[in-house]
Amino acid sequence: QVQLVESGGGLVQAGASLRLSCAASGRTFIFRDYHMGWFRQAPGKEREFVGNIGDFWSGSRTYYANSVKGRFTISRNNARSTVTLQMGSLKPEDTAVYYCAAAQSCSGSGNGCSAEHLYNYWGQGTQVTVSS
């Protein structure tokens, strides 16, 4: 069984930074073989793609939604099976529940692996609230 556990959410003021982490575990789960994505869902809105970091074999290439490009950075530590979302210059519109997800394949998806259906496993989410 694969588990993804997010942490690091909280309440911050606009302009602040926050770092989210996602720890992956599972007896047969080989972390480095999975593309890792971050998504978010704001109140009353559909879940949306935030960004993604490719698996080891793709060189851990990163892609970001336009709304966060230049402010958010995704990194991964394959030895520790963790992926991090570093968020900067936070805005009230970044308020959402943030989810990490793992995709075994992004083949045919084009850049970014942004489609939810590509992801096999999801975390439970962590709340990020940005006050103005």
Place of tokens 């989410």: 125
pLDDT digit string, tens, across residues 15-59: 999 999 999 999 999 999 999 999 999 999 999 999 999 999 988
Distance CA 42, CA 71 (A): 18
What phi and psi, each to the nearest 5 degrees, are found at residue 92? -55, -30
Distance CA 128, CA 125 (A): 10
Cβ neighbours of 80 (radius 10 Å):
11
pLDDT digit string, tens, across residues 85-131: 999 999 999 999 999 999 999 887 766 799 999 999 999 999 999 99
Return the pLDDT at 25: 97
Question: Helix, strand, or coil here: 56?
Answer: helix
Return the pLDDT at 111: 66
Return the pLDDT at 59: 86
